[in-house]
Structure 1
Amino acid sequence: MRLTLFDQGRLGLVDGNDIVDVTEQLAGTGPYGPEGPLHRHIERLADGRTGPLDLTGAPHTPLAEATLEAPLPRPGKIIGAPVNYLDHKAEMEYTTSVADLGVFLKANSSVIGPGQDILLPYTDKRTDQEGELGVIIGRTASHVSRDDALDHVFGYTCVLDITVRSGEDRSTRKSFDTFTPIGPWIVTADEIPDPDTLDLRCDVAGTTRQRTNTADLIFGVRELIAYTSSVMTLHPGDVIATGTPAGVGPLSHGDRVVLEIERVGRLEVGVDGSGATAYAQRPGYHSR
């Protein structure tokens, strides 16, 4: 299944060229809170509180007429995997990789959905795109083994991990509002038996910058879940961004960023630099 939010927080199942409203069937009655009804469905599914899905009589909307939103507008945690492709390690001239660095956290307030804009914060600091496979946790995971890791996955999505190239900690440079586009939907795990075999491509302003296959990950999805769950308990609805390949580069006002992942989907967002300011004008700069 492909599940997402659309038209002001409704939960939809993408069925061909239509999107079917399954909000109450899958998420129960509202209100659903800022996490949204898909997050509620993932929690209910983990608790065994969902039944068979019946689309008879469910409202249909043409997909082309629906306004898609971030499927998980406020995940519990967004976990990133730094330097998880060898070619990215080489292009950035890093001496370490995910095996040395571990993982980092991004603010959940950084999430946006399809068709929205990444807001560039600075006029004089480079802000890069990083296209990544996103893993959505479906069951609580603590110290799970590599062999059992995929049993804890609800599904997969496209994630852009936007990054300012400045001197702050990773979690700061990657947590600006709008710096985690997610979508356009979540594809449930049963449709992707092996997430470590997917082609990924990211275009900026009509030019392909990144092209890889998730087979080239240093920590594959199984290893990444096993490692992360040894550090922190993963809960239903948490998002893991699995890392980016070579080809990161600066974004400019007016760019369109398109991330496509085989069997997962196509996420497109814009770039807006109209509100950017000089790095030296940021709060606290003169207190150093």
Structure 2
Amino acid sequence: MTVCTSPWPAGVPGWADITVTELGPTQRFYGGLLGWQLSIGGPETGGYVTATVDGHVVAGIKVADVPHPAGWCVYLATDDLAQSVAQGVAAGGTVVVDPVTVLDLGRLAVLADPTGAVVGLWESGTHTGWELTEVPGAYVWAEQMSHDPVTARRFYTALFGYEQQDMSAPDFTYTSLSVGGTPAAGIGGYGPGAGDVPAAWTWYVEVEDADGIAPRVAELGGEVVSGPEDTPYGRMLLVRGPAGEVVALLQPPLEDIVA
């Protein structure tokens, strides 16, 4: 478990939020599945909703009149938003949401990388991002998957100067990106059977029992996309929420929990 109330290092995923048209289904789904408690902000925040676990913020939800399907936006921390946006554009990205200041909370922008995946950038003010990681209901990992992992890797390393570790295997392309020796995120390539699945960032939320939680997904208004299945990093399932968004749920290996 990591509790953090200071800004995350530049290049490390530090926040995720989603925009939906109705709060009720999303609240029931994540509250029932992950135990999230939701708090609705005041008018000055536009009613922005924060999800908490044990009193620590772990994600955000915005309610707006937008079309489905919705999707989770993963935000990478930055010390200098303007510079990161400029570097992202120079590396082949395009601006989806121009830099904007959000009260005293911080500043954000959203880019589309050259493979088409959308990624957020967050420069912290009073809001430093998620305060809790690596416990049930909280962030544990994030990765970008596309049909062109070479281009994706080139873009993100130009953006944040990541250290790279090739973790590929036959028919599987994957690179772990690190900041100061600490793993930050992954860049992977879709397999030959993926079809026309678009490039996207996916974040992983820790769960205690992947097999126990799987049957509840449909009961709460979602859908199991794949799994549960064993991976080198735990037992994982991919689920689709009531607004059409995808999130990965990961039960870490027992030795990691004990450690």
What TM-score results when the alignment is normalised by the length of structure 2?
A: 0.28
More strand by share: 2
What TM-score results when the alignment is normalised by the length of structure 1?
A: 0.26
Structure of higher RCO (CA pairs closer than 8 Å, 6+ residues apart) = 1
Larger Rg: 1
